[in-house]
């Protein structure tokens, strides 16, 4: 007797076959790829059994790029062509790169889009191309380990990455030939790896300190929903800064004033080795054997106590961001049930000590902090491709900054506020400013301030084909849609005619986390100034609208419906409003608007009566309905 295989509607005809997907942690210092096998998430090694892939790419003339350990060996002897920490450049412009200063010792050029390009022996390379080369190796490793082609990948990004940085990550994956199932916030992935999504409802802090980025996220698990309450951090702060602090201390102790690129790399490599060693011992020796220079400095000792004093200023920045994230979530440290440590830099004992002091409880460190993000991403990838049919994990991330539109007077109308869970769609209706207006310019902005110059421009587009109507009659609905990856699409539709247009916001570079933090801070410190500026602009717009309406009415009916004295009175009040409008006192403008409105009340009434009389002229009373 033969067996008959039965497949339920909607299921695969071969239910025993799993779809192969991976989770990728694209890190500043190291990257990993992981998958779920036999119900267990695990990172995938290379052919030599090594799991961590150094996020380093070396470019050579007419040769394929070297990625990983091979490239890492040439950080000192071929520093200009060996690119590391490319993640710090993702989605940034050349001005942002200049602020990184000595942390980025490369030769940069700018392309037409504003993206910084790195000059190498193989030509100009963008940060997106460097990241794509790393992702390509990880994808190939996944396919080699699993023995088949991948369906797709979940790629993790810092929670504080803005739209441009997320889009740059997606672009890198596309270049690498990877189907992106979703971009997942690194802290959320870490919480998933610890299985905190399967525990009782609670509030979790994820402290993620990697090689070049820091994230703090406050997550709440409630009724099967993983929601990010607030995020904070800095995409230019991490273990690299620990290394630079140690290297600067060495220079001070040995009176070293100038370093070439190879010497910088040598010092950073020795600093990193000493930092890692002091997580195990109390004292280590900094060796200068192999120093790339004529006069070799003497070897020196570094103690854990000295290391702590060097690390404390950097750690203090992370703790300030952590307290800020708690305030944003309207929580205190006692509200946090678990603290998850993520990122290789959290191996530093001083980091663990300071975090434990802040929260009053030991953080979770049982999973390798280098692997935890990739493991969580693998679990999410397994769910997204349908291998976990009964899985009900729902992840809700949040927007780091508010999104809005420019309105008349250079004001910003917020459509979606910061810390709103995503994916999200919000719509708002606007109208025309002038009679007969047939087009509308739409300016999309990001930020917390009330005036356009104080926010960041994301995109501009136009809605054309609006039927000519009186000012204020048209209804234009503008819709903002942010997907689960944090990417934005804006559409506009005129409701009576149905004409519509849309734009996917895809800038070539974005904001650094420090800029985001500065924008939020500025919105608080300038709240009174912004409120006054908004009121002033609103009154100026109202004054302009009233002056234009009265001017049109006077030209049309002034001589016919007004005496010469009445016309003169209105003109005097209009001139007074023009003077007040150019002042900085919004109260004075409001008062003069009221005076002018009263002066024209009788004129408006006569125009209305006259309009009615003309509409009824020649009609019998019985025919009026």
Which residues are known catalytic residues? 25, 87, 186, 208
Q: Which residues pair with 219 in a beta bridge?
A: 204, 228
Nearest-angstrom CA–CA distance, 42 and 39: 10
How do strand 403-407 and strand 108-110 relate by DSSP bridges?
unpaired
What would you report as the CA-atom Rg of the chain, rounded to the nearest whole angstrom?
31
What secondary structure does DSSP assign to 441-474, as a single string? EEEEEESS-SBGGGSEEEEEEEEE-PPP--TTT-
Nearest-angstrom CA–CA distance, 560 and 575: 22
Residues of 67-90 as b/e, b for ≥16 C-beta within 10 angstroms?
Answer: bbeebbebbbebbebbbbbbbbbb
What secondary structure does DSSP assign to 96-152, as a single string? HHHHHGGG--S-EEE-TTS-EEEEETTEEE-HHHHHHHHHHHHHHHHHHHHTS---E
What secondary structure does DSSP assign to 183-235, as a single string? EEEHHHHHHHHTTGGGSSSEEEEEEEE-SS-EEEEEEEEETTEEEEEEEEEET
Sign of CA dihedral 354, 356, 358, 360: negative
Nearest-angstrom CA–CA distance, 318 and 232: 9
| Start-to-end C-alpha separation, the chain | 86
Nearest-angstrom CA–CA distance, 228 and 424: 14
Residues in contact with 623: Cβ distance below 8 Å, sequence separation at least 6, in sequence order: none
Please give the distance of CA 553 from its chain centroid, rounded to a whole number: 49
| Cis upstream peptide for 461 (omega within 30°) | no
Residue 384, helix vs strand vs coil: helix
Torsion of CA 526, 91, 102, 285, to 10 degrees: 110
Question: Which two structure tokens, joined as six digits, stand for 434?
Answer: 């002038």
Question: Which two structure tokens, joined as six digits, stand for 320?
Answer: 């300030």
Q: Please check whether residue 28 is in contact with residue 382, taking contact to mean a CB–CB distance below 8 angstroms.
A: no
Cβ count near 545 (within 10 Å): 16
Nearest-angstrom CA–CA distance, 283 and 304: 6
Question: Which two structure tokens, joined as six digits, stand for 125?
Answer: 């390379």
Nearest-angstrom CA–CA distance, 127 and 310: 30
Please give the distance of CA 17 from its chain centroid, rounded to a whole number: 37
* Phi, psi dihedral angles at 36 (to 5 degrees): -105, 120
Q: Please check whether residue 416 is in contact with residue 426, taking contact to mean a CB–CB distance below 8 angstroms.
A: yes
Cβ count near 236 (within 10 Å): 24
Residue 416, helix vs strand vs coil: strand
């Amino acid at each position: 007797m033969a067996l008959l295989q039965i497949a339920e509607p909607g299921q695969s005809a071969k239910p025993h076959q799993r779809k192969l997907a991976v989770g990728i942690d694209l890190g500043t210092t190291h990257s990993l790829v992981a998958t779920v096998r036999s119900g267990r998430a695990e990172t995938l090694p290379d052919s030599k059994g090594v799991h961590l892939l150094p996020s380093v790419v070396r470019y050579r003339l007419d040769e394929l790029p070297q990625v990983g350990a091979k490239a890492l060996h040439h950080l000192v002897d071929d520093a200009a062509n060996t690119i590391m920490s490319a993640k710090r450049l993702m989605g940034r412009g050349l001005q942002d790169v200049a602020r990184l200063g000595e942390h980025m010792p490369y030769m940069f050029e700018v392309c037409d889009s504003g993206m910084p390009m790195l000059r190498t022996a193989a030509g100009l390379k963008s940060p997106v191309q460097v990241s794509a080369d790393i992702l390509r190796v990880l994808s190939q490793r996944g396919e080699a380990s699993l023995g088949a082609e991948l369906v797709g990948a979940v790629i993790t990004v810092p929670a504080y990455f803005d739209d441009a940085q997320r889009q740059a990550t997606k672009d890198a994956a596309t270049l690498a030939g990877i189907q992106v199932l979703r971009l997942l916030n690194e802290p959320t992935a870490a919480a998933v790896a610890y299985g905190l999504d399967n525990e009782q409802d609670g509030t979790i802090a994820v402290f993620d300190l990697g090689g070049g980025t820091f994230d703090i996220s406050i997550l709440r698990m409630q009724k099967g929903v993983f929601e990010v309450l607030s995020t904070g951090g800095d995409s230019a702060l991490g273990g690299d800064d620990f290394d630079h602090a140690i290297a600067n201390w060495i220079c001070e102790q040995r009176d070293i004033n100038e370093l070439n690129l190879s010497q910088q790399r040598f010092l950073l490599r020795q600093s990193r080795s000493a930092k890692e060693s002091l997580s195990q011992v109390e004292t280590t020796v900094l060796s200068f054997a192999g120093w790339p220079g004529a006069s070799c400095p003497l070897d020196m000792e570094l103690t854990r106590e000295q290391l702590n004093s060097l690390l404390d200023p950097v750690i203090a920045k992370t703790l300030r961001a952590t307290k800020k994230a708690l305030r944003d979530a309207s929580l205190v440290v006692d509200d946090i049930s678990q603290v998850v440590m993520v990122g290789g830099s959290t191996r530093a004992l001083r980091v663990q000590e300071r975090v434990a002091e802040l929260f009053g409880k030991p953080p979770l460190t049982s999973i390798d902090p280098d692997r935890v993000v990739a493991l969580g991403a693998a679990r999410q990838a397994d769910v997204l491709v349908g291998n976990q049919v009964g899985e009900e994990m729902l992840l809700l991330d949040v927007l780091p900054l508010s999104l809005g539109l420019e309105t008349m007077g250079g004001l910003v109308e917020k459509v979606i506020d910061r810390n709103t869970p995503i994916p999200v769609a919000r719509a708002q209706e606007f109208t025309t400013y002038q009679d007969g207006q047939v087009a509308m310019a739409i300016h999309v902005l990001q930020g917390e301030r009330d005036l356009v110059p104080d926010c960041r421009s994301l995109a501009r587009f136009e809605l054309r084909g609006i039927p000519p109507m009186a000012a204020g009659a048209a209804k234009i609905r503008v819709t903002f849609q942010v997907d689960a990856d944090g990417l934005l699409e804006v559409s506009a539709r005129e409701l009576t005619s149905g004409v519509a247009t849309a734009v996917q916001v895809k800038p070539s570079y974005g904001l650094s986390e420090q800029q985001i933090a500065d924008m939020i801070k500025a919105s608080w410190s300038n709240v009174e100034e912004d409120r006054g500026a908004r009121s002033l602009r609103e009154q100026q717009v109202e004054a302009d609208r009233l002056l234009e309406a009265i001017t049109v009415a006077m030209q049309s009916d002034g001589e016919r419906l007004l005496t010469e004295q009445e016309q003169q009175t209105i003109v005097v009040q209009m001139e007074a409003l023009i003077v007040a409008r150019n002042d900085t006192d919004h109260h004075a403008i409001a008062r003069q608007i009221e005076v002018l409105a009263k002066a024209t009340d009788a004129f408006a009434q006569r125009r209305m009566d006259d309009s009615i009389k003309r509409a009824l002229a020649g009609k019998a009373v019985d025919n009026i309905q």
